Structure 1
Amino acid sequence: MAEAHSAVAFSFSITHEGWDVNFDREVLHLVWQSGIRSWKKRIARFQNSIHNGVYPGHLWSLWLIFSIVTAVHYMDRAVPFDLAAKFLYLFNDTSTRWQLLACFLAALVYWLAIIFTLRYTLKLLLMYKGWMYEARGKGTKTSLPTKMWFICVRIFSGWNTPKLYSFQGSLPRLPLPSLHDTMSRYLRSVRPLLDDKNYQRMERLASEFENGIGKKLQRYLWLKSWWSSNYVSDWWEEYVYLRGRSPLMINSNFYGIDAIFMTPTSIQAARAASVINSCLVMRRLVERQELEPMMIQGVVPLCSWQYERIFNTTRIPGMETDKIQHWQDSNHIVVYHKGRYFKVVIYKGRILKPCEIQVQIEQILNDKSEPLPGEEKLAALTAGERTHWANVRRMFFTKGVNKTSLDIIEKAAFVVALDDIPYEFDQKDPSKLDNYGKILLHGKGYDRWFDKSFTLCVGTNGRIGFNAEHSWADAAVISHVWEWVVTTQIHETRYDKTGNTLGKPELTPPTPTRLNWEIRFECQEAIDKSMKVVKSLIEDIDLRIYVHDHYGKGFIKQCRLSPDAYLQMALQLAYYRDAGRFDLTYEASMTRLFREGRTETVRPCTIEASNWVKAMENPKSTTEERVQLLRTACQRHQVAYQDAMCGKGIDRHLFCLYVVSKYLEVDSPFLQEVLSEPWRLSTSQTPHGQTGRMDLNKYPECISAGGGFGPVADDGYGVSYIIAGEDMFFFHVSNKRSSSKTDCHRFAKRIEKALADMKALYIDYKSQNGNK
């Protein structure tokens, strides 16, 4: 009751002497400040909306045009189309104020015409993708048409500084490929995987689909491509992520690791406070749209749509489908430590400084209270089956203190997990880094709130990591956040000689408050049921993080090959040696050159890649033949990657055709077979150095170890890799222990051997042919 009383801002009672009113001035002051902050944000959002609405123009240009129109009008000269005179004729009044109004309306028409001309010209320019296919790097020349195109894009992008969402209205829609082109690309992609008999059968199915029901499905999809901002993204989010009923942990969520060669501090509270502050500063930049939009070569903008849901976002479970809930504002985070949840207010007139947040974190670490019944393993519900969690949520978390506490978690900016173990890295003991990755991927199964957009994890030795939910955005966006967090400690001095955060608190930070729960026995049984599922998932997953430091991107560039294509060929060679066959391979690429773009699939197992792998395994093949086949395979992979980025992919188109067929209740043997094919080798490159903040030449210790995810197929591998500077790669390889066909430790050795063989191949080739 004392806690409930302290939460009341004011109270009153009636006595024989009249009204007796009590109020808490501090609480009322907090309410007042919250209202002021809310209105400031509304005004800022309104200003940003105007800025983005007229970009690449600017509001000041309206007043410039108004001044010119007014001056010309009073000089008795006719402005173009004589709009001012026409407006005056409608007003039927020639007084000064009506003349000024007529001039303003005329200027507004001219201004809007200029704005829309600039915007749609820029959109037309951005529809051109020929620049993507031109070779880049030292020794290559950009064609004259592409140079002229870049100049035009710069001119029509405006002179004022763009905000985060300024280019959204100028980005083109994702184009819908023709049915014939997609069928041709698909058949070519599966040729290495099928023998002649099965390939002929697949050709027949594809032909029947293309000349039959495919035409009808394509027409419906064509309508959607014109009606919606992006014909893929909403269905992709809904059917691939939100309708999935399997656990998020391992199956969907992914993780990211600290810059492992840096140890800014070994004090858990200090590192947690600094990173929390960095995240909050970035959240403010996103909210105010002051974060610079991502630009390829500083010219071509990428879609920023996904940034809106980085913070204050939670995935809400449903019986049949989940939903993503985003709140416009949140002045608190939630911290989990030793089975207890704390609400931490991180705003008191301003964002709290790192030294002030450290005080709050230390209060949590020093709190010796025990978890309430059912509290410790509560988050296992977010890690287990989605339908079960939705049912439990409906039964036990829709009223009372449970609803209040759950709302606090779900409305938090993000969740922080203060783990009670260290995150270790030792180049002499690879198992420590493997364990580091496992801690971030799944932890104990109940110490991450897997529904939140991301959970920030902090070890007892000050190392950090994150676990991110996947439906709200793709890895490149959270990688941008992580790059900001990691580089902040380089660009700013955050710690003193003792390892604590710099400075002294300027105010007394709000004391963290324990969340209250009343978890009944039936609810605890439901939590235990989820824990059984979670425990089996954790026991089944294995992870190997392989650090390749024998050579890196620098050597690959000497070979004049794409680093990504080179590593994909290494994975093909390693997988063939591991499995004894080729399998369907997934590589994610982005489609953020288009509005609301997310990802597309690149299929690295091509005809050219299989020819090269077979040549590597054929002792009769010469070095010359192998090198030429590798170059051809890498070039083919690059084109496929560029096609995917430019909206000419295979899998998203087929996926949307399948969704339309389900809406129309039409069965297609071709689509059913295509969509059921397992991705036994699922790969992704972790973006690194997306912004100018991460200069590895200047700060080589800032190299991140990247992140990883679980395997997509039960008998397959999940492989995430990061090109860390010029001399190092990290490979995160996962598999399920229940499969006798896969072993991540064995596969990591296959990757090591493949990379060594490829280097030896080029060294041998150069010794025979010089520097050709």
Structure 2
Amino acid sequence: MAEAHQAVAFQFTVTPDGIDLHLCHEALRQVYLSGLHSWKKRFVRFKNGVMTGVYPGSPAGFMIVVVSYMSYNKYKMLDPSLGLVAKLVIMTTSYLMLFSLSAQSGYQIVGGVLVGTGLWVTIIMIMRNVLKSLLSWHGWMQSRHGSLTLSTRVWLFLVKLFSGRKPMLYSFQNSLPRLPVPSVKDTCRRYLESVRPLMNDEQFERMTALSKDFEKNLGPRLQWYLKLKSWWASNYVSDWWEEYIYLRGRGPIMVNSNYYAMDFLYVFPTSVQAARAGNAIHSIMLYRRKLDRAQIKPLMLLHTIPMCSSQYERMFNTTRVPGVETDTIQHMNESKHIAVYHKGRFFKVWMFYDGRLLLPREIEQQMERILADKSEPSPGEEKLAALTAGERTPWAKARDAHFSRGKNKLCLDAIEKAAFFVTLDDTEQRYDADNKVKSLDSYAKSLLHGKCYDRWFDKSFNIIIYKNGTMGLNAEHSWADAPIVGHLWEHVLSMDPKLGYTEEGHCHGKQHPNLPGPQRLQWDISAECQEVIESSLTVARALADDVDCHIIPFNEFGKGLIKSCRTSPDAFIQIALQLAHYRDKGKFCLTYEASMTRLFREGRTETVRSCTMETCDFVRAMVRDETERLRLLKVAAEKHQNMYRLAMTGEGIDRHLFCLYVVSKYLGEDSAFLKEVLSEPWRLSTSQTPLQQVELFDLVRHPELVSSGGGFGPVADDGYGVSYIILGDSLINFHISSKFSSPETVSRASLSDSFYLFTGSLNKFSSLFNRI
């Protein structure tokens, strides 16, 4: 009961002598420290907002400009305001006798500060616009890695010159160019080129006719509205992409949208579940503090070219809230607690005490209390989170009917307004060198969907800590893309060896003797609501049971060999995927590879259509064992790289066509061309997980510190989802998913056979390269 007493600031009793008031000094002290922490955070945010708002300017630059300008005016005996300041003061004052000759120096100082400030702001605006113009040039992408042309070197020098010093996370937001709108003609041409290997002559002629009709008639009208939006909005794609692709989807987001990330592959830091949670949660909260203070370095290509950082804003304190027709994203500016799930119970755990962040051992102490709690879940509580795993509309109706008032609303708020969600899983997952396939497949499925009721899939991300100390992450997709979460996950994994553990496997440090314990959330879930929960769980389990996952670390060779042959590793793997798919199915399919458009403000992703005519020519040559395979490989790789450049620079196909389709719906116009384009299934959906903070991991000295990367569910019911991460020079980790119910991917055996065809393709590539 000590924790309960400390949570009350004062007590009073009514006696015959009046009211007897007892203040709890410890509680009042905590209130004071909490308020102090909040005000410090507000001040830091205000300061960072000012620093970002004037970047590439700085207070030091302001002083230099103003003092230099005033010194020049004093030397030349000039009035910088040309008498305007004196006239304004005199006009607003009725007592002229107050102004003596000595006031002239005051006018000069005020005028010098005002005009100097204006000059400083003008310099900032000029630098920003020059930098924006420089960043609109993408010729640097044509240079081979390690051999920059003279024009690219000059351009990089100018970008550095106008980029300022010591940028913070959001410093470049106002300097990034807007995403350009491609011409309808170019988009239609590239689209036809992308589908040519997938259609016979008759189908292609029909699609060409539809394209020409669209390009001539409806397309220009839709393009006009899109151009208008691009001039007005920061990004003509991102808001519609978030709303229509993610938030308006009514199906389950578990498996279909959420994705996962894995722990270290070969290293097991501790087998103590609470200790692993202590270090991981503390690392995440340190990252959040750096994020709040904008102290995270913006991601910069070639250490010079900035990328958009807007997606970081909603990483923490964020929840996807269900709606009947469309979901919304709820983001809180501040949250001082996390929500924890263990064996059917939910807990609210405060992350601050005595005005500071809890240390790893103190967080471990809180997790130990939860693990030691033997209380039973209240009726309906254990499987409550299944609502977030099922269809969105039933969840929205149940939320409104059963969680909009009373203690259920308070409990739901504790979860939705938490910094993030933690699951203390009661199962064990780990890479087993003696049983690689089964152990990693089980691990992936657990992270992707768990038991369908032990993850809060609506939260921006869930941290899962298993009983044996292994951990992982499950992330909701609408608020940001995988590289943003990957940046956080790299920080967490890199911090784990630094924070370390004792010989017994516990976090370093001491327990806190007066730390209030976790707060158990108390629900009142009606029988009617429990029926909705069971219904959602049935839907979710059917979806989860249908998903097959296959993960394997491929270490026979890696990017070291590929790059030594002057070939892009990403292009190499994409071409290998096409070869594997063709050897498995005997045909090609529409292939999705995710690229990013973060070179532009509020950019997210674009599609690279990896199945090209050049790739198909190479695949057929490999299958037939023809002699020109090496030349065809290089041609296909160059084509793929060029398509990736186009996607990154705003010249992709699919986002433009998607936005044209949205405009057509707003105008009430039907387009046979757009309808057919957007209904084509992506039977092979692929994505590379990039290692963004290479400096955090010395894989040469510590090759064991590699992650398994992450993965996602299949996009098409009869297709594959493939994610891969390239680690060091000799390891590529693959994550492949499909559905049991599809006759095209009927069983695990089929999936495994397909994967080994893929690894066989890689090995065949290797032997081909050895002949160079």
TM-score (normalizing by structure 2): 0.95
Give 1:296's aligned residue: 301
Structure 1 position 99, deviation (Å): 2.3
Aligned partner (choices 147, 150, 153) of residue 144 of structure 1: 150
Partner of residue 357 from structure 1, selected from 363, 372, 375: 363
Structure 1 contact 84–106 (Cα < 8 Å) conserved:
no
Report 1:651-670 matches (<5 A).
651-670=654-673
Q: For 1:283, what is the secondary structure of its paired residue?
A: helix
Task: Quote the offset at 1:27 in angstroms.
Answer: 3.0
Match of 1:114 in 2: 123
- Say which SS state the counterpart of residue 610 (structure 1) adopts: helix
Q: Which residue among 736, 739, 752 is the counterpart of 1:736?
A: 739
1:686-743, CA deviations, whole angstroms, 9 ceiling, x for partnerless residues? 1124342122223211111011111111111111111122111111111111101114
From the superposition, tell whether residues 754 and 518 of structure 1 become closer, same or farther in structure 2 (CA, over 3 Å). closer
Aligned residue among 451, 454, 457 for 2:461: 454
- Is residue 483 of structure 2 the alignment partner of residue 476 of structure 1? yes
- State the SS of the aligned residue for 2:356: coil
Structure 1 residue corresponding to 2:286, chosen from 265, 281, 303: 281
In structure 1, C-alpha distance between the alignment counterparts of 2:769 and 2:14, rounded to whole Å: 96
- Does the C-alpha gap of structure 1 residues 556 and 513 become closer, same or farther in structure 2, counting only changes over 3 Å? same
The Cα of 1:520 is off from its aligned counterpart by 1.0
1:605 aligns with 2:594: no
Q: In the TM superposition, what is the alpha-carbon distance from 1:12 to its structure 2 partner? A: 4.8
Aligned pair in 2 of structure 1 residues 520, 280: CA closer, same or farther (>3 Å)?
A: same
Superposed displacement of residue 72, structure 1: 2.3
User: Does residue 218 of structure 1 match 2:218?
Assistant: no
The Cα offsets for residues 70-119 of structure 1, whole Å up to 9 and x where unpaired, read as 2222223448xx44544445445643333211111111111111111111
Q: 1:223-234, aligned counterparts within 5 Å? A: 223-234=228-239
Q: How does 1:186-335 map to 2 (within 5 A)?
A: 186-335=191-340
- For residue 600 of structure 2, the aligned residue among 583, 594, 600 is 594
Q: How does 1:551-570 map to 2 (within 5 A)?
A: 551-570=557-576
Match status 1:407 vs 2:413: yes
Aligned-pair CA distance for 1:424 = 1.8
- Residue of structure 2 in register with 1:485 after alignment: 492
2:81/2:108 contact within 8 Å kept: no
SS of 1:702's partner is: coil
User: What's the CA shift for 1:380?
Assistant: 0.1
5 Å matches for 1:24-103?
Answer: 24-78=24-78, 82-83=80-81, 85-92=83-90, 94-103=103-112
Determine the C-alpha separation between the residues in 1 that align with 2:138 and 2:89.
49
C-alpha deviation, 1:475, in angstroms: 0.3
Q: Taking structure 1 as reference, are residues 618 and 446 closer, same or farther at Cα in structure 2, changes over 3 Å only?
A: same
Q: Which residue of 2 aligns with 1:162?
A: 167
- Shift in CA distance, 68/748, structure 1 to aligned 2, threshold 3 Å: same
Q: CA deviation at 1:558?
A: 2.3
Q: Secondary structure at the match of 1:700?
A: coil
1:104-138 per-residue CA deviation (whole Å, 9 max, x = no partner) reads 1111111111111111111111111110121114x
Which residue does the alignment assign to 2:679?
676
1:286 maps to a residue whose letter is L
Superimposed CA distance per residue, residues 141-176 of structure 1 (whole angstroms, 9 cap, x where no aligned partner): 2111100000001111112x1111111111111111
3-state secondary structure, aligned to 1:701: coil
User: Which runs of 5 or more structure 2 residues have no equivalent in the other structure?
Assistant: 91-98
- Relative distance call for 1:288 and 1:3 in structure 2 (3 A) is closer
2:566 and 2:748 map into 1 onto residues whose CA distance is 30
Query: Aligned residue for 2:341?
Result: 336
Structure 1 runs not aligned, ≥5 long: none
CA gap 1:503/1:582 in 2 versus in 1, 3 angstroms: same
Q: How much does 1:7 deviate?
A: 5.3
- Which residue identity lines up with residue 212 of structure 1 in the other structure? N
Aligned residue for 1:216, secondary structure, equals: helix
Alignment of 1:3-14 (within 5 A): 8-10=8-10, 12=12
Counterpart selection for 1:385 from 385, 388, 391: 391
Following the alignment from structure 1 to structure 2, what is the Cα–Cα distance between the partners of residues 611 and 130?
Answer: 28
Q: Name the structure 1 match of 2:352.
A: 347
The 8 Å contact of residues 194 and 609 in structure 2, kept in 1 or not, is answered as yes
Q: Which amino acid aligns with 2:134?
A: L
- Once residues 758 and 382 of structure 2 are traced to their aligned partners in structure 1, the CA distance between those partners, rounded to angstroms, is 45
Distance 1:419 1:645 in 2: 39
**Change in 2 beyond 3 A, CA 1:275/1:698:** same
Alpha-carbon distance change, 745 to 221 in structure 1, aligned in 2, over 3 angstroms: farther
CA contact (8 A) 1:733 1:744 kept: no
Two-structure CA RMSD over aligned residues (Å):
1.8
In 1, distance between residues paired with 2:558 and 2:280? 30
For the residues of structure 2 that align with 1:100 and 1:372, how far apart are their CA atoms? 71
- The 3-state SS of whatever aligns with 1:500 is coil
1:504 corresponding residue in structure 2: 510
- SS in structure 1 at match of 2:357: coil
Contact in 2 for aligned 1:253/1:467 (Cα 8 Å) = yes
Equivalent AA in structure 2 for residue 415 of structure 1:
F
Q: 1:720 to 1:748 in 2, by over 3 A?
A: farther
Shift in Å at residue 64 of structure 1? 1.9
| Partner SS for 2:352 | coil
Give, in angstroms, the shift of residue 18 of structure 1. 2.8
Which amino acid is the alignment partner of residue 236 of structure 1?
W
Describe how 1:688-727 pairs up with structure 2 within 5 A: 688-727=691-730
| Partner SS, residue 463 of structure 2 | strand
SS in 2 for 1:53: helix
Amino acid at match of 1:670: F
Identity of aligned residues (%): 52
Q: Which residue is equivalent to 1:538?
A: 544
